[in-house]
Chains A and B, each alone.
Chain A
């Protein structure tokens, strides 16, 4: 898979530091699962995190801290240990990275799609923790355009299947559009098939219903 659009550098650092909420972390980890380059970038940022952690002045632990922990390990037993090497993950459907499959199941076709506008289907993904962001799948028919729009907050779009094109180029499977709120764009889905994306978006109260506003205009070709 050739990936042309990667994570913003600031996003790599935020992900490595654990600053992204669950919705954005799922989109980023799904991209990272597909992209060797960003996986390495995250690793480098985590290396920086490890060095910064090593550099703190150590806090005293109190007498016998190690022994107390070993007692805990013995009480619980070693069943939690991972003695075998990690098993390979179940072969994921193409375009369905493992971090996403955990939330939506094993097939993009089997999720509960609902039509939100002609040619546009959406599936909200509910998360166990409440965040200020929403996470959803969007499937847009081939040849369609979305009116030019900005975003009410940060937004990340990962293409899972198909492709679209906008001012920033062509976004195919594995590409991520890591946009901040100031960017406006007008995506056109390529003619050879529908485009399925995973989107995380901040939900600013002022712009509630933004998506619907976007999708309402005469949406066809």
Chain B
């Protein structure tokens, strides 16, 4: 999908590389490097690029989740501030920049839009960071996984893609999805299982 915002400017040769290869794995690698620069040197230029790419997406995603524009702006700022503050905790071994920023945005959505608590998620994150899993995983492995997940998503039949989008983007509960699509709850569950099964079978080559 084209970036509609003409004002967005990325500086430097590395940034144009990212634009040239937009959508490819190199954009993911570039974003990972930006986060590393933020962690190492509190590099504000790197943060600006992350902000200009993800800020408008996080905001749009929050609006789709049912937030009005002003609240979405406010929450987006909170999310991006957390990205800046917690960037030292980002471990590329556990996923792409987009995965990590998604989890921060999701936690904000749970805390602020659903008025529940994201604390259980934060505790799992702490455990993950503390456990030095000797599992042979590294960045390359994480990148391969992300590529395969992207492939699986692209290949999902429309009705499975739809339940994924309604759950992840529109923040609808299973029962609300069933209502919206006028199908039984069991159908929503089975579509979700099929969608996840697709991810799993794609990822099996790496196991």
Which A positions have Cβ atoms within 8 angstroms of B? 8-10, 12-14, 16-19, 21-22, 25-26, 28-30, 32-33, 36, 39, 41-63, 65-66, 68-70, 72-73, 78, 80-89, 97-99, 102, 128-129, 131, 180
Contacts and interface: CB of A to CB of B under 8 A. Distances in A.
Given A46-B99, A53-B98, A9 B197 contact: yes
Contacts of B86: 81-82
Contacts of B80: 69
Contact of B193 (A8, A42, A55, A57): A8
Nearest to A181: B185
Interface string B182-200: 0000000100110111011
A43 to B, nearest CB: 6
A18 B88 contact: no
A72 B77 contact: yes
Contacts of B107: 18
Contact of B85 (A61, A70, A82, A89): A82
Interface residues of B, number: 85
B32 interface: no
A192 B105 CA distance: 45
B140 interface: no
A47 B145 contact: yes
Contacts of A180: 189
B116 interface: yes
A186 B37 CA distance: 56
Given A12-B196, A18-B109, A49 B102 contact: yes
Contacts of B106: 16-18, 46, 49
Interface of B: 1, 3-5, 7, 44, 48, 51-52, 55-61, 63-64, 69, 72-73, 76-77, 80-81, 84-86, 88-89, 94-96, 98-103, 105-107, 109-110, 114-121, 123-124, 126-130, 133, 135, 145-146, 149-150, 152-153, 164-165, 167-169, 171-174, 189, 192-193, 195-197, 199-200, 203
B168 A49 contact: yes
Contacts of B109: 18
B196 A50 contact: no
Contacts of A32: 124
Given A18-B171, A53-B168, A44 B199 contact: yes
B7 to A, nearest CB: 8
B57 A56 contact: yes
Contacts of B63: 59
A166 B127 CA distance: 31
A104 to B, nearest CB: 13
Contacts of B77: 65, 68-69, 72
Contacts of B189: 10, 180
Contacts of A17: 106, 167-168, 171
B173 A52 contact: no
Given A59-B59, A62-B73, A66-B51, 17 more contacts: A10-B174, A13-B164, A13-B192, A18-B109, A29-B124, A36-B133, A39-B128, A45-B196, A49-B103, A53-B101, A56-B1, A58-B57, A60-B56, A73-B84, A80-B81, A102-B119, A129-B115
A9 B192 contact: yes
Which 10 residue pairs across A and B have the least CB separation, nearest first? Answer: A58-B56, A50-B98, A29-B120, A50-B102, A59-B60, A9-B196, A50-B99, A88-B130, A99-B123, A10-B192
